[in-house]
Chains A and B, each alone.
Chain A
Amino acid sequence: MAELLTLAVIGLGTYALRAAFLVMAHRAPPARAARLLPYVGPAVLAAIVVPAFVAPHGTIAFAETAPALLAAAAAWLAWRHLKRNLPIALFGGLAVWWIASWAVSAARGLGLGPS
């Protein structure tokens, strides 16, 4: 139950963040905050995303890292060149990840490649 309370507090906090400027539609954010706001999204999302691709299970290992980085590159390219189509970029990235993971483990099975 303590966990439910924690989640509820996060929910309230998240609602406050979302409502902050929306409910005061005529008031602009203070200048200093407005200057930093555009960089919150890129910084936070990159801080989530980059470690997840570089070290998928907490450590950098070729067999994990290489397929994940390939998948990220594939999703990026697909998003950029195919009209920002989200499903194609996402499923394309997942497919590249599956194939590359399979290839890495197959190469290892044959005694090839870095370990």
Chain B
Amino acid sequence: MTALSPPPVLAEPVIGRAVRDALPVVLAYAPFGLALGATLSATHLPSWIAWSSSPLLFGGAAQLLAVQMLDAGAGAVLVVLGALVVNARMLLYSAALAPHTAGWRARWRWLGAYLLADPVYALAITRFTGAHTDGPRERLRYFFTVGLVLWPAWLGLTGAGVLLGGVLPTSLRLDLAAPLTFLLLLLPMLTSRPAYAAAVTGGTVAVAASGLPLGLGLLAGAAAGIAVGGWLGGRDG
């Protein structure tokens, strides 16, 4: 049997590595995905419209904010503004990943942009800036393999949450899954003193302003944190 088996395909290691890197992330996102699905189905929005935020936005933080604001009756402009502030970090992901995708055909970069959610970025940038010497082809394979594991998983998890929303036992409380997931996204970003200052300021101002309606506390915290980070970063640098 071994004598007749085909020679190992060169692409195998990077694709297998991508799958092995992505599966624990799916596991870690399971509580948040299920909880988000249950939250989506508990709003007054039709379930399929609330769930459509998964393929449309492909990012849990903005989905949670947008659907909760819509459920609370916020105006469309404010909902769009709030969700795009939450997603403004995608600009950073785009800028940081761009040099590593320079060798890709334009169509793959246009398509890859759709998949550039937090965990896809985190896995890709770790791989591309690590000790590996991947060429453009391997990077392309790694990125899209990770994306094509996490994308259906996210649609499936949130969909399962929508369907199970009323069935999950109330003793299985998952409401802290969302902030825990975001905390684990935040921690790897705390790589410098200005970054810590941006986080501490953003968090403190958001708590102080949490009495404001419709996610304005989030906007205030984000603006204050970015300003302090930029000021300290400019001074130190």
Are A20 and B80 in contact, with the CB atoms below 8 A? no
Quick check: is B205 within 8 A (CB to CB) of the other chain?
A: yes
Are B66 and A47 in contact, with the CB atoms below 8 A? no
A-B contact pairs, 18 of them (CB 8 A): A7-B57, A13-B80, A19-B110, A21-B94, A22-B101, A38-B229, A43-B226, A44-B202, A44-B222, A45-B182, A46-B200, A50-B202, A50-B221, A52-B178, A80-B187, A86-B25, A89-B180, A91-B28
Which residues of A are in contact with B by a Cβ distance under 8 Å?
1-11, 13-15, 17-26, 28-29, 33-56, 58, 68, 71-72, 75-76, 79-80, 84-87, 89-91, 93-94, 97-98, 101
Chain B positions 149 through 170: 1 when the CB is less than 8 Å from some CB of chain A, otherwise 0: 0000000000000000000000
Which residues of B are in contact with A by a Cβ distance under 8 Å?
24-25, 27-28, 31, 45, 49-50, 52-53, 56-59, 61-62, 66-67, 70, 76, 79-80, 83-95, 97-99, 101-102, 104, 106, 109-110, 112-114, 116, 173-190, 192, 194-196, 198-207, 210, 217-218, 220-226, 228-230, 233-234, 237
| Contacting residue for A23 out of B58, B113, B182, B195, CB 8 A | B113
Are B229 and A43 in contact, with the CB atoms below 8 A? yes
CB distance from A98 to the nearest CB of B (A): 7
CA distance A101 to B223 in the complex (A): 33
| Total number of residue pairs linking A and B with CB closer than 8 Å | 280
Given known A-B contacts A13-B84, A46-B200, A21 and B98 have beta carbons under 8 A apart: yes
Are B184 and A90 in contact, with the CB atoms below 8 A? yes
CA distance A51 to B236 in the complex (A): 29
Residues of B with C-beta under 8 A to A11 = 53, 56-57
Are B87 and A14 in contact, with the CB atoms below 8 A? yes
Residues of A with C-beta under 8 A to B182 = 45, 48-49, 52
Are B80 and A90 in contact, with the CB atoms below 8 A? no
Residues of B with C-beta under 8 A to A49 = 179, 182-183, 186, 203
